[in-house]
Amino acid sequence: MRIAGIYLAAGQSSRMSVPKLILELAPGRPLGAIALKEMRACESIGDISVVVRPADAGGWLAEDGAPSGHGVRIVPCGDSPRGMSHSLRAGMKDAYRYRPDAVIVALADQPFVTKELFGRLIGEYVRHPGVDYVACQGMDAALPPVLFAPSMFGALGQLEGDTGARKLLSSVRYRGAFAEMPSNQMEFDIDTPFDLREARQRWKGWIERGGNDDERKSGDGNASNMQAFR
DSSP reduced 3-state for 190: coil
The strand ranges marked E within the chain are: 3-8, 24-26, 29-30, 45-52, 72-76, 102-107, 133-137, 142-148, 176-180
Would you tell me which CATH number, out of the four given (1.10.3720.10, 3.90.550.10, 1.20.1260.10, 3.90.380.10), belongs to the domain 3-229? 3.90.550.10
What does each of the 230 residues of the chain score in pLDDT, given as a tens digit? 999 999 999 755 556 777 788 889 999 899 999 999 999 999 999 999 999 988 876 678 765 555 444 589 999 998 887 778 889 999 999 999 889 999 999 999 999 999 999 999 999 999 999 999 999 987 667 889 999 999 999 999 888 876 668 888 888 999 999 998 888 788 888 888 899 999 999 988 877 666 544 333 333 434 334 334 44
Q: What are phi and psi of 38, to 5 degrees?
A: -65, -40
Alpha-helical segments (H) within 63-104: 84-95
Domain boundaries of the chain, sorted by first residue: 3-229
Query: Cα angle vertex 28, ends 25, 34, to 5°?
Result: 60
- What's this model's pTM, rounded to 2 decimal places? 0.86
Handedness of CA 171, 87, 106, 197 (dihedral sign): negative
- CA 54/CA 152 separation, integer angstroms: 27
